[in-house]
Amino acid sequence: MRPMIPRADPAPSRLSYRLHRWMLTPLYRRLIRVGLPVLAVVGLCAGYLADQVRRDALVGQIAEFRRQIETRPEFMVNLLAVEGASPGVQEDIREIFPYDLPASSFDLDLDGIRVMIEGLPAVARATVRIRQGGVLVAEITERVPVALWRTREGLNVVDIEGEIIGAAANRAARADLPVLTGEGADQRVAEALEILQAAAPLGRELRGLVRMGERRWDLVLGDGRRILLPETEPVRALERVIVLNAAQEILERDVAAVDMRISARPTIRLNEHAMEEWWRITNMTLGAE
């Protein structure tokens, strides 16, 4: 009878069992399959880039590759086209344009160019885009001059919003535009134009409008006489003056001003000579009595 040889227990130990189970987990598999290769690549890259000379060479190669792409013909801008602007505004835009053409479209700040152009006094709005063929197009909407605003510094050309477009050397330089004066007149340009339009039936030369106390308007006729308009509904008050003039020809008399500040009670102010004559006649009448 052969002696019994003891056999090793085939069951794994607790530690080996847990280690085996841990190696079968999804996290461990991803670590072996993805993590280790990534760490190896990162280590190789770090070792390669540890040298300053290699880093500088790599940066130079990337910059050169980018330059070659950006300077390709299809990305180059060769011409600036300004549309919708007068010759003077076109000249101003080309003068302040900050880039030398041809230039890469990657180097152009289109939004910055638009803001720069809209900063010109004569420009209301601008759009900037690159057209096929390497043309940078600036489409301009100019401000429309509607009046002259006289200040202590001189004559300014303004648009309907009161924005100063430029300066006029003298009245004759823009004889086609009406004259506004007074503090705050530039803030009420639209109202001033309505008054001037309503004054057309008077059939008289108009010198302009004066803003009084930043509250109301005086309409100055060509001969220096004034129509004092109220703060509210100045156009309606002026229409009453037109009706009175048509019925009684008050502007044909020797009057200095027609005061409509109280619309319900129009007042006529006589010239000094007319006032003296009125007093003379009044005194003669009283003396005769």
Q: Residue 135 in contact with residue 77, Cβ under 8 Å?
A: yes
**What digits encode the pLDDT tens for the residues 155-190?**
999 999 999 998 898 888 898 999 999 999 999 999
Choice between 235 and 264, residue whose per-residue pLDDT is larger: 235
Mean pLDDT across 212-227: 91
Domains (ranges, CATH) in the chain?
A: 73-142 (3.10.20.310), 147-283 (3.40.50.11690)
Average pLDDT, the chain: 83
Q: What is the pLDDT of residue 269?
A: 81
pLDDT exceeds 90 at position 58: no
Question: Coil, strand, or helix at residue 11?
Answer: coil
Task: Note the pLDDT tens digit of each residue in 26-48.
Answer: 777 777 777 778 888 888 888 77
Q: What is the pTM of this model?
A: 0.66
Examine the pLDDT at 123 and tell me if it is beyond 90: yes
Identify the pLDDT of residue 244.
Answer: 87
